[in-house]
Amino acid sequence: MDIFEGRITSCGFSSGDRIVVGTWRNTPFGSFSDIMWAKSDGSKVLIAPNEEIANYISSLYEFDIIQIEDLKVEDSGNMMKVETKDLNCHFEWSRGFSFLTKKRPLWFVASIEYFFGWLIFGTKTYGKTKNGKKEWYAVDRLSKLTFAKAEFKKNDLGEYKKFHPKANFGFSDPPKMPCSALVRSHIE
């Protein structure tokens, strides 16, 4: 089983773009960051730091464009800045709230957490990936964004807002609420 521990930060922008930034501390690939970007024209972009990680992620989720780029990440407390060649993001979030205990069995994530995740946030905590693997998202802390800004080629993507419409990268989209979540993704 592959386990990824880190943070997923996501929101939409008034331009119609929707951005999901993963900053992963512990993974089978070491620590890395990636961006899943649903552009306003409907295309889905993956920005990953190398081919190995890009191949792994694109085997799980759907993308139209895959870019291999260095991602420069500044992350401290409740703030994160991410810079790529053309896309720059800045996020800040509240303290948020924790979920239960970290030692929850995967059946709990796939049933009880799934029900409340879908009911309250419109997101799924369990499903099958593009290549048929099972994936569980165990959310340990959820924080509402208090600030978000993104620029593409120095053009502002506008006010941050709900993650809408769905990006359809895979079986689940992030919560509609602009947020940053500490998560553990289990893939088998």
Please write the tens of the pLDDT for every residue from 17-75: 999 999 999 999 999 999 999 999 999 999 999 999 999 999 999 999 999 999 999 99
Residue for token pair 């407390």? 77
CATH numbers and ranges of domains, the chain: 2-187 (2.40.370)
Cα-based distances in Å from 156 to 87, 114, 150, 159: 10, 35, 6, 9
Model-level pTM?
0.94
Extract the tokens encoding 76. Answer: 């401290």
Rounded distance between C-alpha atoms, residue 166 and residue 187, angstroms: 22
- Rounded to the nearest integer, the mean pLDDT of the chain is 95
Rounded distance between C-alpha atoms, residue 121 and residue 51, angstroms: 33
Question: Residue 12 — pLDDT band, cuts 50, 70, 90?
Answer: very high
Considering the chain, what percentage of its residues have pLDDT values greater than 70? 99
The enclosing H or E element of 110 equals: none
Residue with the larger pLDDT of the pair 137 and 99: 137
- Tell whether the model's pLDDT for residue 8 goes beyond 90: yes
Using the CB atoms, write b or e for 107-129: b if 16+ within 10 Å: eebbeebbeebeeebbbbbbeee
CB count in 10 Å sphere of residue 32: 19
117, amino acid identity: G
Using a 10 angstrom Cβ sphere, with 0-12 exposed, 13-18 middle and 19 or more buried, the burial of residue 187 is middle
What integer pLDDT is reported at residue 120 of this predicted model? 84
Averaged over 101-123, what is the pLDDT?
A: 88
State whether residue 61 is helix, strand or coil. coil
Rounded distance between C-alpha atoms, residue 161 and residue 11, angstroms: 6
Rounded distance between C-alpha atoms, residue 53 and residue 100, angstroms: 31
What integer pLDDT is reported at residue 100 of this predicted model? 67
Rounded distance between C-alpha atoms, residue 26 and residue 186, angstroms: 12
- Tell whether the model's pLDDT for residue 85 goes beyond 90: yes
Closest-CA residue to 37 (of 21, 58, 55):
21
